[in-house]
Structure 1
């Protein structure tokens, strides 16, 4: 037991050091800071949620001490990194007897549901954070327009770009929260992959092609879409950002459909590579794939694909 807590303490120290590396200002600093939740997931998915919680608390204390002893800084670090790592590690390690001598593990789609739920809970915090900027939310995008766009665009295009940025600015909190969701998901998946690679994983690898999302996500997305369309002012603002957040699980579900289809055709691996390359080059394709995920949730596209003979 003592060795478990020592490992957890080491993970907390590693997480804090990786985050504080961004103070060095080197090329590797930002990637290291992005991977700060990784040690917390490594101990959480191998040793349990208690180890992850200890590592998160220790790393938060170190970060707070290194950045001036601010308790608020440490609390924010723990909420951003420690809380999701602890909760998702705990849920990921839940399992029950499947009646066949094996274990039925907690569904990965439910983990995405937990992540989406935490993201929705974090949305007001992101709004408060941006509202603390001088001039409020509008200043976040307006400042970018005035300071940077004049150097990049001719004068006759500035006004159109300002209008576009003003519209985009209404979902900036959602974009920030989505980037956090991606960071947490990437670190969790990377931790599980590393543990599996070296034989320390407690649950098996996840097959993305079999992913199933909880039904409440679709209901929540439908409700927020209606609110975003019909409501105005504060309700519409939060609904638009909430809808953007809820689309991320459906993006993953859309990728699950593509993976399932790739298994049905020859050269499926190459096709997957092309899809992911297009996602990097043409970001609007993300919306299309998220809508594909919504259709799968409604119509069961993968069940229909499974009934087709392979080609």
Structure 2
């Protein structure tokens, strides 16, 4: 690695650390900045190579631990943010020459040479999304084990926070206990889903930025038609959904997997919606109304999760493409 690339990787790691540092220091206003922490690592990985991405991930973790004096803060940003970003950026940069006799029609993500033979086959988007969901689930499970996630131990702190926030009103102690239990039971489901969302959107934005700077070798993917999930994702999601009915630790582990892969299937459903509305005169209004409904009401998201599952099942039942 050249000194210039090493310097760029270190700068990207420092930028990621500064974005995440406010969350470690418990600054509520810095949450939005912390969600952008993977983007510098994505950018340097896509534009300057996988090694630069991994160096940026390590630098970010070391700086967070050093500046905050909290070792767990550096571990948090490394496991949940920068390491998955470096791995996903590495996967997005993978490509191989077409095999001898491999004739494929032109499609998004493939550079085609003369005669219809692709010069390079890039790592499929569906496998990148699968890897992001898997890494998000494993990161939340690992951090939950390391930090000692315990509903009964954390419940008194949540009850005190509800009382101090002024939202408790005339609620009794029993009602506050029930609300705290509900909130804590949703953490294993929501946290991996949010992490999958952050990593996926961060990769998309980083690819857009890197492409503008003309540093991205990968051709632009047509996400509405290229974004799917492999059949293994459906198996993992179904097994986790079934295991979530078991109480205790098994339930928490299963909910983490359900949250991560549920968000991944939601992305697939939204991509199918984008593809099916192409060519419609009211497409802009449909997309705006859909995303507004998701942002305000949240529950319409589950409809697109079902669409994503249906797309995967349909592709499993269709004959393999030659």
TM-score, normalization by structure 2 = 0.81
CA contact (8 A) 1:9 1:54 kept: yes
Partner of 1:223: 239
Residues 221-278 of structure 1, C-alpha deviation per residue, up to 9 Å, x if partnerless?
A: 111122223x233323322332222201100011011111111533223211221111
1:183 paired with 2:184, answer no
CA contact (8 A) 1:130 1:137 kept: no
Distance of 1:169 and 1:223 partners within structure 2: 23
CA contact (8 A) 1:116 1:249 kept: yes
CA contact (8 A) 2:230 2:312 kept: no
Structure 2: give runs of 5+ residues left out of the alignment.
103-116
C-alpha displacement of 1:95: 1.2
CA contact (8 A) 2:57 2:82 kept: yes
Pick the aligned partner of 1:278 from 293, 302, 308: 293
Partner of 1:32: 33
Q: Over the residues paired in the alignment, what is the CA RMSD in angstroms? A: 2.8
TM-score, normalization by structure 1 = 0.84
Residues 56-112 of structure 1, C-alpha deviation per residue, up to 9 Å, x if partnerless?
A: 1122222221112x5444333322222112111111111123452432211111111
Distance of 1:71 and 1:18 partners within structure 2: 17
Pick the aligned partner of 1:195 from 189, 200, 210: 210
CA contact (8 A) 1:37 1:81 kept: yes
Map 1:66-215 → 2, pairs under 5 A: 66-68=67-69, 70-98=70-98, 99=102, 100-128=117-145, 131=148, 135-139=152-156, 141-148=158-165, 151-155=167-171, 162-163=177-178, 165-210=180-225, 211-215=227-231
Partner of 2:244, secondary structure, is helix
CA contact (8 A) 1:213 1:253 kept: yes
Mean Cα displacement is larger for which, 276-285 or 261-270?
Answer: 261-270
Distance of 2:160 and 2:236 partners within structure 1: 33
Distance of 1:167 and 1:94 partners within structure 2: 42
- Evaluate the alpha carbon distance shift between residue 227 and residue 72 of structure 1 in structure 2; reply closer, same or farther with a 3 A threshold: closer
C-alpha displacement of 1:300: 4.9
Aligned length: 297
CA contact (8 A) 2:134 2:257 kept: no
